[in-house]
A and B are shown apart, each in its own frame.
Chain A
């Protein structure tokens, strides 16, 4: 058992700006699986991801990490990482962007960890380049390196390929698969069904703030359990 996993959500609801965004979500996140959260726009996918990552406290219900630890505790952020749709690059080099995310003991070890992470995403050659001058796909790979450098138990991905080109998308998908293979539990929000098919072990399908089904990916794409899931897949195939 890790510091974070298994992660348990019990009857989690979230209200934002007077609107009910999540309704009575119960979900258990085990280890070494890739979970894709699917659903239409406004279904609550991103909000669920942020609640799981501890960025948004639920209005009601409970989110518990391993050993019943509170997910909101600052030290819990050392065990997970998140990649956003648009990578946030600080005004410094690619390597310094990766190092910024670390809580390492010394500058020397930070540099070594940062370089290793950049090598892993194929960006070591551009380590000294100002991060903001990189292309969108390259910036997303640097952001991926920043996340990986933290050796997370869980990697949350919020539509990580939504704003990059097909070639960069393939590179990011390869990195996601590689991270999952190395034992990182991946939770991703995506609108790309083909991507979910390629990468996910499990699917969590959301509709109007509710989790309507949680099934293995093969089963979801061949025989979705919920009517909403069936309609969603039908809509996508038209």
Chain B
């Protein structure tokens, strides 16, 4: 218990004093995860919207695969990206392995199916409500998709934040492709894993507190945004 108290006390000291090492790790974590979310949102929202309004042979299979990919273990994604980016891999020439870019790629691959699958569900629910009206007005294709995305924007923000939460909390993939290099690719989750094994519990715990706060803040923002939007726009 005294170890825990000491670690907790040390953690709050690091946070309150804005320890440079802590700030650097948190900054890199957010930078990597936000970049991954931006890429995954562009791909995932477009894919989700397209799947929601399109009808073609094999659509059900694609949706099933997409849903299954939501549960893909991060370490498997990390391994695949590692093989692609390693010297002998097809993308080895670009020298991306053990860089933040590799971590962004891995996280983007991890959360694109999550954003696409959740967005597909949100947009398809709206599509079921709007379909006859759109058909009656002669609204099809991209105009229909764009309208659906716009009308479900508040729910899609929640979807995107779910992706960001997953990216921030992920450890396996970034550990493999980033290498957990101090000052270069060390992010909150990989640092927590390392510092715990090293016995530097205050730093590990302070990073854990920040990580929990980030995830909690994201969820509070999502909840507030949805409530605000529903009250204001119906």
Closest CB in chain B relative to A92 CB, distance in Å: 8
What's the tally of chain B residues with a CB closer than 8 Å to chain A? 16
**Contact present for A131 and B137 (CB under 8 Å):** no
- Flag whether B233 is at the interface (Cβ < 8 A): yes
B19 interfacial contact with A, CB 8 Å: no
Decide: A91 near B132, CB < 8 A? Known: A77-B137, A100-B137: no
Which residues of chain A come closer than 8 Å to B129, judged between CB atoms? 88
Q: Which one of A88, A89, A101, A146 lies within 8 Å of B234 (CB-CB)?
A: A89
Task: Contact check, B151 vs A88: say whether CB atoms are below 8 A apart.
Answer: no
B135 within 8 A of A: yes
List A residues 146-184 near B (Cβ within 8 Å): 146, 150
B16 contacts partner chain A, Cβ-Cβ < 8 Å: no
Bound Cα distance from A81 to B139, whole angstroms: 12
Residue A74 at the B interface, CB < 8 A? yes
Q: Distance in Å from the Cβ of A115 to the closest Cβ of chain B?
A: 19
Inter-chain contact A130/B232, CB cutoff 8 Å: yes
Contact of A88 with B133 at beta-carbon distance under 8 Å, contacts A74-B138, A77-B138, A78-B138 already known: yes
Q: A55-B132, A84-B132, A90-B151 are in contact. Are A101 and B137 (CB under 8 A)?
A: yes
| B234→A55 contact, CB < 8 A | no
What CA separation (Å) do A48 and B232 show in the bound complex? 38
Contacts of B132 in A (CB 8 A): 55, 84, 88
- Give complex CA distance A132, B234 in Å: 5
Taking each of B129, B130, B137, B232, which has the highest tally of chain A beta carbons within 10 Å of its own beta carbon?
A: B137
- Encoded as 1 (CB less than 8 Å from any B CB) or 0, chain A from 59 to 103 comes to 000000000000000100110011010001111100000001101
**Residues of B contacting A107 with CB < 8 Å?**
none
Query: A53 interface residue, CB < 8 Å from B?
Result: yes
Q: Is the CB of A82 within 8 A of B136?
A: yes
Please name the residue on chain B nearest to A139 by beta carbon. Answer: B234
Q: Does A41 contact B (CB under 8 A)?
A: no
Given A84-B133, A88-B129 in contact, is the A132-B138 Cβ separation under 8 Å?
no
A88 lies within 8 A of B135 (CB): no
Q: How long is the Cα–Cα vector from A100 to B148 in the complex, in angstroms?
A: 13
Inter-chain CA distance A93–B135, complex, in Å, is 21
Residues of B within 8 A of A146 (CB): 137
Cα separation A55 to B134 with both chains bound (whole Å):
10
CB of A81 within 8 A of CB of B234, answer: no
Closest A residue, CB atoms, query B143: A100
Contact in complex: B151, A91 (CB < 8 Å): yes
Chain A residues within an 8 Å CB radius of B67: none
Could you write out 6 A-B pairs with CB less than 8 Å apart?
A55-B132, A55-B135, A77-B138, A84-B132, A88-B132, A90-B130
Q: Which residues of A contact B (CB under 8 A)?
A: 53, 55, 74, 77-78, 81-82, 84, 88-92, 100-101, 103, 130-133, 146, 150
Given contacts A84-B133, A88-B130, A90-B130, 10 further A-B contacts (CB under 8 A): A74-B140, A77-B136, A81-B137, A84-B136, A88-B133, A91-B151, A100-B147, A130-B233, A130-B234, A133-B233
